[in-house]
Amino acid sequence: MIELTLFAAAVLAVGLYMAWNVGANDVANAMGTSVGSRAITIRQAILIAAVFEFSGAVLFGKHVTDTVRKGIVDPAAIADPHVIALGAFSAILAAGLWITFATWKGLPVSTTHSVVGAMTGFGLAAAGLDVVNWAKMGKIVASWVVSPVVGGIVAFISFSLFRHFVIRKYPDRARLERVFAYFQLMTASFVAFAHGSNDVANAIGPVAAALEFSREGATVASKVPVPMWLLAFGGAGIVIGLATWGYKVMATIGERVTEITPTRGFCAEFATASVVLANSQIGLPISTTHTLVGSVIGVGMARGIKALNLRIIMDIITSWLATVPIAAVVSGGIFKLLMIVR
């Protein structure tokens, strides 16, 4: 059991805030196209996402997590575990603030990159350039290109083939869309489940690290345990986030990039899920958020470039480029401040 110190309470509060952000920004990955295509209402999307996100987090969330997300900073280089605890706290607060801003603007950003950027900022502030794994940072930068391009290509090809072999041969378009609304929903449920199981760590990983290393007698380790109650805590935060603020980014993904119908939404979601699934075997630097946006652009491109809202796409890309540096700067600043006042 954790000691109920003021710091532990603050960590849990910030962890809940981060989980809320993860839910609010990332629910669009799963449900944005389904809502945009009118296959389901926002209320139905929230209910479905809530069930699958929470189930994924609790049933398949990892019980051991990296001390530092994706190992971007070597914790052993920072000898004092209490410093790591403060750094983890700074990171989740900074990442949360950035994601809140992005969600307010309706921009889908990678919550993983936000946490990685924030951890980098803490690492730089605590121990300088050498503590950061720059090779991993290079992979993250590469994912800005790889993820949307791969997602876009797969979605473009699959929708083009579908249009050639099915849509053109079947005159009743409305009926086709009705049937594919079912498959779109099933794919969306999968993405919600997978997101819950994997991305709860974005909120809970730093919380677990902060709680673990703030204990008396704690020693630095690269992995920390994640108890079941913490997974449920993170899952609940994600559900509250998607229910209260998820509509903003869902509107961007589902309506503002390109017009989405159930057949297009299915191709985009299926392409995203396939790419992310295949990546677990290949090991490319892939972000689900970036892959989904690329997939939505891909199905739009299959109808021609005029089908795309280029302005919103540029805004989204700008937010991706800004994620890591802004999270890093804010996190470094918060960490420095906490080190002065502690």
Query: What is the Cβ-side half-sphere exposure of residue 221, based on CA atoms within 13 angstroms?
Result: 16
- End-to-end distance of the chain based on CA atoms, in angstroms? 24
d(CA 65, CA 129): 24
For another protein, which stretch binds (CB under 8 A), given 78-86, 121-129, 174-182, 301-309? 174-182
Question: How many C-alpha atoms does 142 have within 13 Å on its Cβ side?
Answer: 10
27 in Cβ contact with 192 (< 8 Å): yes
**Stretch 13-42: interaction string toward another protein, x if CB under 8 A:** -------------x--x-------------
**Coil vs helix vs strand at 118:** helix
Residue with smaller CB distance to another protein, 124 or 296: 296
Q: Which are the contacts of 58, defined by CB distance < 8 A and separation ≥ 6? A: 228, 231, 232, 235
Is residue 178 involved in binding another protein (CB under 8 A)?
A: yes
User: Measured from the CB atom, is 87 or 246 closer to another protein?
Assistant: 246
Read off the tokens for 294. Answer: 């690329």
Contact segment (CB under 8 A) with another protein among 100-108, 183-191, 311-319, 330-338 equals: 183-191
Q: How far is the CB of 277 from another protein (least distance, A)?
A: 5
For residue 223, the 8-state DSSP code is E
- Count of CB atoms situated within 10 Å of the CB of 305: 9
Does residue 330 interact with another protein by CB under 8 A? no
Q: Is 199 in the site for another protein (CB under 8 A)?
A: yes
Is 165 a residue that touches another protein (CB under 8 A)?
yes
Q: How many chain residues touch another protein (CB under 8 A)?
A: 37
Nearer to another protein, 176 or 232 (CB): 176
Gap between the Cα atoms of 104 and 311, Å rounded: 17
**67 secondary structure, DSSP code:** S
Tell me which stretch binds another protein (CB under 8 A): 211-219, 238-246, 285-293, 311-319. Answer: 285-293
Cβ contacts of 142 within 8 Å, gap of 6 or more: 285
* Cα distance between residue 55 and residue 98, in whole Å: 27
Binding test (CB under 8 A) with another protein, winner from 179, 221, 232, 240: 179
136 binds another protein (CB under 8 A): no
**64 touches another protein by CB under 8 A:** no
Nearer to another protein, 7 or 60 (CB): 60
Q: Is 159 in the site for another protein (CB under 8 A)?
A: no
Query: Max Cα separation, the chain?
Result: 71
Residues near another protein (CB under 8 A) are 26, 29, 112, 162, 165-166, 169-170, 175-176, 178-180, 182-183, 186-187, 190, 194-195, 197-199, 266, 270, 273-274, 276-281, 286-289
